[in-house]
Amino acid sequence: MPDLRVGLNELEAVTAVARRASFRQAAIDLNVSTTALSNTIAKVESNLETRLFNRTTRSVSLTEAGRLYMEQVGPALQDVRAALEAVRSHNVGPSGVLRINAFASAARTPLMPLMLEFSRRYPKVHIDLVTEGRLVDIVEGGFDLGVRSANLVPSDMIVIPLGRPQRYAIVGSPAYFEVHGRPWAPTDLLTHHCLRVRLPNGAIFPWYLERDGEVIRLDVNGQFTLDEPGLAKAVVGTGVALGFFMEQDVQAEIETGAFERVLEDWTPVRDNLCLYYPNRRNPSAALKAFIDLARANIQPLAAGSSP
């Protein structure tokens, strides 16, 4: 008979390895040695008489039993964490760790001002922010909150609109336009030097333009393919290419004149940014406080939207 008595620390260890797909990274998160973590996982698997992970020298992945664990035990573990945190916070106020997943642009604005105000009010809460371009299941990943475009938020999540709607911007430096001229129509971009954007999954992101219901998808040409906005801005600043950015990422450069915007009428407002989280019976005091602050500082949802 398998021994089903698995402690909270062991459950946390399995979750961390599943989330990171790496024993080394999970050990850093848990502040233990890789050897100690590996021994803990081996003990859990021995007790359950079930292998939870496939291990090679280069990768770690969940077995079918491991995936079942993350689907069933993962959410339950978050409820246990929240219940324990609620008890601890009863007298001392919000404390502990609040984990948030967002893409980089959203983390800079408008999420960062909200986090800074929250940290000022609740200094006992540690905010663990993970920024990444790929979409993740925040429940499976062990996150309390996520930030994405409204159209990318799962339908079973509770949603709070976060800041102004997003918009793309096509920009270049004055030096670039002096040499190469300005594009006046979307198809003109095909004759310009443009930065190509690589997505986290390795695919190349096409430039999407839209006006009066007409949508154009361009696979632009250029000497550079990049995957980091800061580096992309640096390249555009040298005058060698045009760039395709989220508007908030280049607003300062546009205002100072370092970048000039083109084809603005082809980059309409898109979906709102949203803060979202799962419906839990016992949210931690920290999560509840963050949600309350977000609702107090952000425009309410339109009638008919999720609460």
**pLDDT for 28:** 87
At 154-188, the pLDDT tens digits run 888 999 988 666 788 999 999 999 999 999 999 99
Same domain flag for 248 and 277:
no
Same domain flag for 130 and 147:
yes
What is the C-alpha to C-alpha distance for residues 136 and 59, in angstroms, rounded to an integer?
A: 19
The encoded tokens of residue 198 equal: 């690589």
Q: Which residue has the tokens 């949508």?
A: 215
- Assigned domain for 173 exists: yes
Bridge partners, 202 (sequence order): none
Same domain flag for 283 and 150:
yes
Q: Which amino acid type is present at position 110?
A: P
**pLDDT for 91:** 57
Range of weakest confidence among 182-191, 225-234, 262-271, 278-287: 278-287
Q: Which residue has the tokens 């760039």?
A: 243
**pLDDT for 305:** 38
Give the pLDDT band of residue 2 (cuts 50, 70, 90): low
Query: Domain span at residue 125?
Result: 93-164+271-297
CATH number at residue 27: 1.10.10.10
pTM over 0.85: no
Helix (H, G, I), strand (E, B) or coil at 14: helix
The number of folded domains in the chain is 3
Q: Name the range with the highest mean pLDDT among 103-117, 119-133, 155-169.
A: 119-133
CATH number at residue 120: 3.40.190.10
- Assigned domain for 79 exists: no
- Assigned domain for 197 exists: yes
- Assigned domain for 212 exists: yes
Same domain flag for 130 and 279:
yes
**pLDDT for 302:** 35
Exposure string (b/e) for 215-234, b if CB count within 10 Å is 16 or more?
eeeeebebebebeebeebbe
Same domain flag for 255 and 175:
yes
Same domain flag for 202 and 289:
no
Same domain flag for 159 and 278:
yes
Same domain flag for 62 and 128:
no
81-87's contacts with Cβ under 8 Å and 24+ in sequence apart are 81/284, 82/280, 82/282, 82/283, 82/284, 82/287, 83/282, 85/284, 85/285, 85/286, 86/282, 86/283, 86/284, 86/285
Q: Name the range with the highest mean pLDDT among 4-13, 19-28, 86-95, 279-288.
A: 19-28
Q: Name the range with the highest mean pLDDT among 41-45, 57-61, 151-155, 161-165.
A: 41-45
Same domain flag for 186 and 152:
no
Report whether pLDDT(209) > 70. yes
CATH number at residue 175: 3.40.190.290
- Assigned domain for 38 exists: yes
- Assigned domain for 307 exists: no
Give the pLDDT band of residue 301 (cuts 50, 70, 90): very low
Same domain flag for 172 and 187:
yes
- Assigned domain for 77 exists: no
- Residue 163 has a CB neighbour count (10 Å cut-off) of 20
| 36 phi/psi in degrees, rounded to 5 | -65, -40
CA R_g for the chain: 23
Same domain flag for 120 and 236:
no
Residues contacting residue 203 through CB under 8 Å, at least 6 positions apart: none
